[in-house]
Structure formats: structure tokens, C-alpha cells
Amino acid sequence: MSKAAEELAARSIVIVGGTSGLGLSAARACVRAGAKVTLVGRTGDSAKLAQDELGEAARVHLGDATDPLVAAEAISVSLDAFGRFDALYHVAGGSGRRFGDGPLHEVTDEGVNQTLQLNLASLIFSNRAAVRAFLQRKTGGTILNMSSVLGASPSSHFFATHVYAASKAAVPGYTKSCASYYAKNNIRFNAIAPALVDTNMARRAADDEVIRQFIRTKQPLDGGRVGKPEDLDAAVVYLLSDASRYVTGQVLTVDGGWSVSEGQVSGETLR
């Protein structure tokens, strides 16, 4: 067992958006490292699959992360089931294209409101619930938030969803501000920023051969491929564990080289 895994053992972690994709992969990694997990998911089918797979190490709470009460409810589930609450990982979010997100001149009012609610308000709600629980119990704790490489390294041709970019760009600043304020309470805030990862949310891009060709030079590590959810797992375990006890207010970018690579787009593609 690794040092990080030893230090994660016996911890109780709430993962908001934990029944599929990045969240479920992280839940598996946390359970392997000895943690108990409480997962928030929206659909009964994915919740049942996650519960069946993870067994007694997990509890699943059905709810929508944009509901201000859901994270607090999940924390109560964690306390009731496992007797403790040590960390929160907020993964929930997604594309706002279906609501009208896109290039700024095309963005609809609904696109603004729904995309910010999905990616930023939900995160603030879950973080607020976690901090209140940590302060009430005087335990300290760890919060890990989900940003995106698109918040700092845009791709204007393939990924022009400007409200989504705004919501993800806000996460590092918000996380750092909270980290500064709550350090005295031994509550740590960090964020993780992936590039294109093959999840249901990213399926439009991940299945597009033109974008996959672009990714070969934009995410050049490991053969130039789309990321996998498990590519983030070691970073998540580290930032949730005592191995990172001296780390707060940081953003760890796990992007296959996206943010340091030009990513060639041919003239033919741009026409």
C-alpha cells in the first residue's frame, strides 16, 4: 500500500457527482486506498451500479448538485453511515451547450444562468456545506474542486463555450480565496484542472475524429490521446489525503500537456 493510500485509510469522503465518469473513477481509487465514500448522483440507474460495485464501502445519495441542500444531506449520510466526514470532492458540472452556451455573441440568457448554476453555484453550495460541517465539528478537513484547462488555456476553434470557460476560470480564484480564509481552521482547499477526458459530458468531442486528430498534438503525452478518468485518480487521492497536509490553495493541472502545447490546427480544418 502506498504512503498516500495509508494516509487515506479510514477517511470518509463525499464525492458530489460521484456515480459516473471522473467522480466514479475517483471513488474507486479512494475505496482502494481504504476510504469510505458517499456519492451524490442524479439518476437511480447510475447510483445502483455504483453502489453494487463499491459495496459496503459506499453510500449513494440521490440528488441534484444545484440544489443547495443536497451536499449537506450527503454529509449527514456520511456521518450516519461511517461516523465521520473528512473530505469533499466536487466533480459535478457539465457543458451548457444544450441551454444555449457557446461563443459569447450567441449565448442565450438561459445559457448564462444554467451553465453558471451547473458549474459554479453547485460547487459553492457543496463547499459551503462542507465548511459548515468542519467548523461545527472543529475537525478541519479537505475540499477538492473541479476546474478545467479551458479556464486558463482556451481552444477557440473546437471548444468555444464561453460561459463554461468563465465558470471554470472562476474556480481557481474562488478556491484560493477560501484556502486563505480557512487555513487557520486547518481546512484545505485545492482544485484539479483536467483537459479533454473521455466521459459522457465530453463524448461529443471525444468521438469526433477531427478533434481527436487535434488532441494528438494538443495533449501529446502518452501517444497523444484523449484522457481517461483514471488519469486523475492519483492526483485526487494525493490531494484528499494527509500526504498533501501542507498544500492548500493550489491548482493541479492534469492535462496530457494541453496547457504547454500549441496543438496544430490545419488551414483546411479552419475553413
- pLDDT band of 199, cuts 50, 70, 90: confident
Domain CATH code at residue 210:
3.40.50.720
Residue 184 CA to residue 233 CA, distance in Å, equals 28
pLDDT > 90 fraction of the chain, expressed in percent and rounded? 82
- pLDDT above 80 (res 268): no
State the pLDDT at residue 202: 66
Based on its alpha-carbon atoms, the radius of gyration of the chain, rounded to whole angstroms, reads: 18
Mean pLDDT throughout 174-192? 98
State the pLDDT at residue 270: 44
Tens of pLDDT along 73-114? 999 999 999 999 999 999 999 999 999 999 999 999 999 999
Q: Domain range holding 259?
A: 3-270
> Cα separations (Å) of 128 from 121, 175, 186, 201?
10, 12, 15, 25
For Cα atoms 141, 152, 102, give the angle at the middle one, nearest 5 degrees.
110
pLDDT > 70 fraction of the chain, expressed in percent and rounded? 94
236, 192 contact by CB (below 8 A): yes
How many independent structural domains does the chain possess? 1
Active site residue 246: no
- pLDDT above 70 (res 265): no
- pLDDT above 80 (res 264): no
State the pLDDT at residue 2: 52
- pLDDT above 60 (res 4): no
Residue at grid coordinates 460541517: 133
33, 235 contact by CB (below 8 A): no
Q: Which among 164, 174, 182, 238 is annotated as catalytic?
A: 164
**How does the average pLDDT of the chain come out, rounded?**
92
